[in-house]
Every structure is written in C-alpha cells, then in structure tokens.
Amino acid sequence: MNVLATLRPPGDAWEELGDIEVGQLAPRDDVEILIVANEPVDLDWFPALRLIANFSVGYDRIDIEACRRRGVAVSNTPGVLDAAVADLTMGLLLAVRRRIVEGDAAVRRGRWEQGWSESPFLGREIGGSVLGIVGYGRIGKAVARRAAGFDLEVIYTRETPLEELLARADIVSVHTPLNAETTGLISRERLALLRDGSTLINTARGAVVDEDALVDELESGRISAGLDVFVHEPHVPERLYGLPSVVLTPHIASATHETRAAMTRIVVDNVLAFERGEPLVTPVA
C-alpha cells in the first residue's frame, strides 16, 4: 500500500515499513495510508485513503466522524505514554512549587540571592499538600502513584465532584482527553474556585482549560501554573512570558527516547496489521 508520513518517528520499528515517503500533507490521489501526529486531515485530498495511523494518543484534531463516514480507519498510540507524562507532571509540579526555574535563571544571571528570612525564592512544601487529579485514567493513576512518594494527599474526580476538588486542592493536575464534553471544562468560574497560592498543572490538552481566564488568574498573582500544552500550539499567549509564577514547556510530556520508540512500535504494528487485513491493534475508528 502507498504510505505517506508527515514525520519520521524514532525507533528501530520504523524500518519494518520499508522505504516510506515522508512529506507534507497535500492533495494526493494515490495515498492509502497516512501517518500523522494528531494533525487535521482534509479527506477530500486523499480519495484513496483507507487508514490514518496517528502518532499520538490524542486524536482531537482528526475528524473521527468524517473518517467513519468515508470508511477510513483511525488508530492511535495509547498505553505507552503514561510514565513519561506522569514524570513530566511531577517535574512541573516541583519546578513551580519550589521555584526551580526562577532560581536557575537567577544563578545564570550571576545573582545569588539566598536570604534565610526574606529569600526571593521561598517556595511551597510538596509533602502534605492536596493534589486534585482531573481525569483519573491511566495517566492520572500514574501521577497518583508518584504523588504517594511525595506524601501528597490525592483526590480525584471519580470520587470528588470537580467543584469540590478545585476548592480543596493545593495543586490541580489535568489529565482528561479533549472532546466536546471537556473543552473549556476548567472554566473561568471554576478557576475562581482555586485557593489562593494553588498551582494548576496541565499536560493534557490546552483547550480543556479556558486559556484567557487562566492567563488572567496568573497575571493577578493569585495562582501559579506548569503548562505543557496550549490552545493554539505552537502559539503561547505572550502575557505568560514575563510571569515568574509559570513554568512553560513545549508539549514534551511524551518526549523520551523510550516512549517515542514505543509509540512508533504501535504505529508500525497498526500499519502492518492493516496491510495484512487484520484488526488494528489500537483502533479509534
């Protein structure tokens, strides 16, 4: 089958597909399989398309219903990102609460300011804090396991109503997928429920949170945040750049050699299964 990929993912498994064309999405009448990284696909460009193998667990930018109507199968890469995303979540949590990025920047500027009583880098303790997890699936559970090692009290949305969780938690970590029900889930009104001095961590999808409302809250200095995702990536709201209370990363939650290679393995397995006429390993549609 004729395969077009918009990326060359890492990992030895890729070689099993042979000589795959890597290029940009453009109208083609010969492409039967697309390998993309959660990118919108204009199905009219690819009349012969039969499979979209998505190099991502999230598929919110792919029109699944349109694919179903056109008979185009879709797969994704679930189950192998859990540890990497949970690790970055904890990294952001620690970086924000202990002001690690601010301290690093000060040292690099040659400013060593450590007053014991009025240090500019007084952070907040992790142990004993309440961590509220919004979205208690595989990744949320992986975060909870790590949080136990830091003596965090964990509450989550399956057992605690969202509004109560936001009002109780010292740290809120978002791990819900993006869909029609979760878009804007953390609204302006719900952000207002966060306690003064609390921290929001988002390694899920930017649009789960009302981004304008979040920036307003962060500018007020009332809360802090660690953000790996944004609504209009790669655009990041410029108002965030000058805020020391925010740690920003460029959607790298799954960016480890091990995880990306495992994702490639799943993509390849789905493509090979489809070519053999077998069921997809991880079907979405």
Tens of pLDDT, residue by residue over 144-197, are: 999 999 999 999 999 999 999 999 999 999 999 999 999 999 999 999 999 999
Q: How far apart are CA 236 and CA 250, in angstroms?
A: 9
8-state DSSP, 9: -
pLDDT score of 69 more than 90: yes
Whole-angstrom distance between the N-terminal and C-terminal Cα of the chain?
19
pLDDT confidence tier of residue 113, bands split at 50, 70 and 90: low
**All structural domains of the chain:** 3-80+256-275 (3.40.50.720), 82-248 (3.40.50.720)
pLDDT of residue 148: 97
Half-sphere exposure of 206 (CA within 13 A, CB side): 20
pLDDT of residue 51: 98
Q: How far apart are CA 47 and CA 32, in angstroms?
A: 8
pLDDT > 70: percent of the chain: 98
Beta carbons within 10 angstroms of residue 118's beta carbon: 7
Q: Which residues are catalytic?
A: 205, 233, 251
For residue 10, give both structure tokens. Answer: 């890492």
Count helices and strands in the chain by DSSP H and E runs: 8, 11
> What is the per-residue pLDDT across 118-132, written as a single tens digit (0 to 9) for each?
567 789 999 999 999
pLDDT confidence tier of residue 106, bands split at 50, 70 and 90: confident
Mean pLDDT over 206-224 rounds to 98
* 153 DSSP β-pair partners: 130
**54 φ, ψ to 5°?**
-90, 120
Beta strands in the chain (DSSP E): 3-5, 21-22, 33-36, 51-54, 73-75, 130-134, 153-156, 171-174, 199-202, 224-227, 246-248
pLDDT of residue 217: 98
Q: Where are the alpha helices (DSSP H) in the chain?
A: 64-70, 82-97, 100-108, 138-149, 162-168, 188-191, 211-220, 257-275
| 197 contacts 171 by C-beta, under 8 angstroms | no
Mean pLDDT over 28-51 rounds to 97
Peptide bond into 234 cis (omega under 30): yes
Please give the mean pLDDT across all residues of the chain. Answer: 95
Place of tokens 């077998």: 278
pTM for the model:
0.91
Q: How far apart are CA 254 and CA 38, in angstroms?
A: 14
